[in-house]
Amino acid sequence: MNNIGSTITIIVIAINIVFIITAVFFERKKPVQALSWVITLSLLPLIGFFLYLLLGRKSYKQYSHKVFKNSNKIPYGREIRVPEYSGEQMKQLMRLNAATSQSPYTDNNEVVIFTSAQDKYSQLFKDLEEARESIHLLYFILQNDNIGRKLIELLAKKAKEGLEVRVLFDHGSNLLMPFKAYSPIVENGGEVYTYFSNTISNYLKVNFRNHRKIVVIDSRIGYTGGINIGDEYLGYHRKIKPWRDTHLKMTGSSVLDLQLRFIEDWLYASKQPSERFDTSRYFPETVNEKGKTGIQIVSSGPDTGGEEIKRGLLKMISSAKQSIFIQTPYFVPDATFLEALQDAALSGVEVVIQIPGVPDKNYVYKATMSYVADVMDYGIKVYLYPGFLHAKMMVVDDFCSAIGTANIDMRSFSLNFEIDAFMYGEEISRRCIKIFKDDLKICSLLTKEEFQERSVFSRIQESVFRLFSPIL
């Protein structure tokens, strides 16, 4: 009996060593993630490898979204230009975003910034009600609650009126949402698809989530930002409140880039041919809007592996001369991002970070607090918002701000499909700075003395969760 047990143990150890070597090979370009998986596989033999299959693998070719772009049916030949009047800080960031994300710069945009879900929903529903041709809608979370049902009811109504209504949502984040809840839309002629639908092969992609929020109405109005569809965003969650978030409404040529991103995601999820999309209708050659905000829409995800949004944010940090203001619900940066913030602070740049005082995911919050220690030692100020801060915003000096779906964490940088609006100019930057400073008035500064008072048990938890931060 002992011999059988010893044999089984040796076999398990041998198999697990093979698994560890496999994980190290596939994660060799990211040593921190590789180390996290080595620890996981060592502590959880065999089970750890199944977790790796679910959470760790990347096969970028499987997620290629370039079908539409490569079909030459999109006006993606729009000249990616850098305006001569812009400062050198702007020019360099624009060139980077154009090179990494093929993101055109447009300067005829009008932007409305929402800092409450109530305001966002009110305007969104108004714009949907007034839609005349098409509605394209993608959300990471679409809850089966009061606001979710109202949205579905309105979309069904617009589909019945003859509009083209397309709804896309992330399957893994809406498992409790019965698909029949969308029946009114489908029964009235609309289309609904899930991203990574309920199939065996997709269960092996469970760690890749489409975290984007995109609405495009009549190819003329666009929405993106942090606010999903759910009553909790209105502050109705039993424990996680008050809820503070940020979202954008845009008009102008930047809406066409949101349209492009939606259609590429739609083609992947629906498996529909790109020929169904009339570019003259969805991508008009002339946009008559006369706004003055410069914007680049930048998207990133496992389909590219280029971490385009992170690169853009890093360039903003390295370009800062006076200040860097960050709002994020999770602060789990990789080494490159962390060192960039530290270097900026050491160079005399004011760096201020706002994070929630009330977390929604305790394990991520523990990892966040471990990174807080790494910035406070460099003079970076960390403030706690009196509630759950879900906003994702960075403002650098008065030349650029970024608002979108990406958190300052490794998941958003490399595992999630994300989208951010990089907005240029003093006017929009000052609006974002005002939002940041208004929030700052009700935040509390996390002092070193308070931080050092954490219990030993909390410090141990922080250290443990930090080990797994690349896969949280």
58, 65, 211, 315: the active-site residue: 211
Annotate 338-397 with DSSP letters as a single string: HHHHHHHHHTT-EEEEEEESS-S-HHHHHHHHHHHHHHHTTT-EEEEESSEE---EEEET
288: Cβ–Cβ under 8 A, 6 or more apart, which residues? Answer: none
Strands 214-217 and 164-170 come out as: unpaired
Q: How many CA atoms lie within 13 A of 201 on its CB side?
A: 5
- Nearest of 451, 449, 353 to residue 394 by alpha carbon: 353
65, 158, 315, 390: the active-site residue: 390
DSSP letter for 169, please. Answer: E
Question: Two tokens at 361?
Answer: 């995911």
305 dihedral zone (left: phi>0; alpha: psi -120 to 50; beta)? left
287: Cβ–Cβ under 8 A, 6 or more apart, which residues? Answer: 108, 252, 253, 255, 256
Strands 331-332 and 191-195 come out as: unpaired
| Residue 390 is among the residues annotated as catalytic for this protein | yes
119, 145, 218, 360: the active-site residue: 218
CA pair distance 210, 415, nearest whole angstrom = 9
Cα dihedral 202, 203, 204, 207 in deg (nearest 10): 100
| Residue 136 is among the residues annotated as catalytic for this protein | no
Q: Which residues pair with 296 in a beta bridge?
A: 422
| Residue 265 is among the residues annotated as catalytic for this protein | no
Could you tell me how far CA 213 lies from the centroid of its own chain? 8
CA pair distance 7, 310, nearest whole angstrom = 48
Question: Two tokens at 219?
Answer: 């190819």
- Which residue in this structure is represented by tokens 């060593």? 17
245, 397, 409, 439: the active-site residue: 397
58, 65, 392, 409: the active-site residue: 392
Kindly tell me the burial class for residue 38, based on how many C-beta atoms sit within 10 Å of its own C-beta (0-12, 13-18, 19 or more).
middle
Task: Report the length, in residues, of the chain.
Answer: 472
- Which residue in this structure is represented by tokens 């959300």? 139
| Residue 218 is among the residues annotated as catalytic for this protein | yes
Query: Which residue numbers are catalytic?
Result: 211, 213, 218, 390, 392, 397
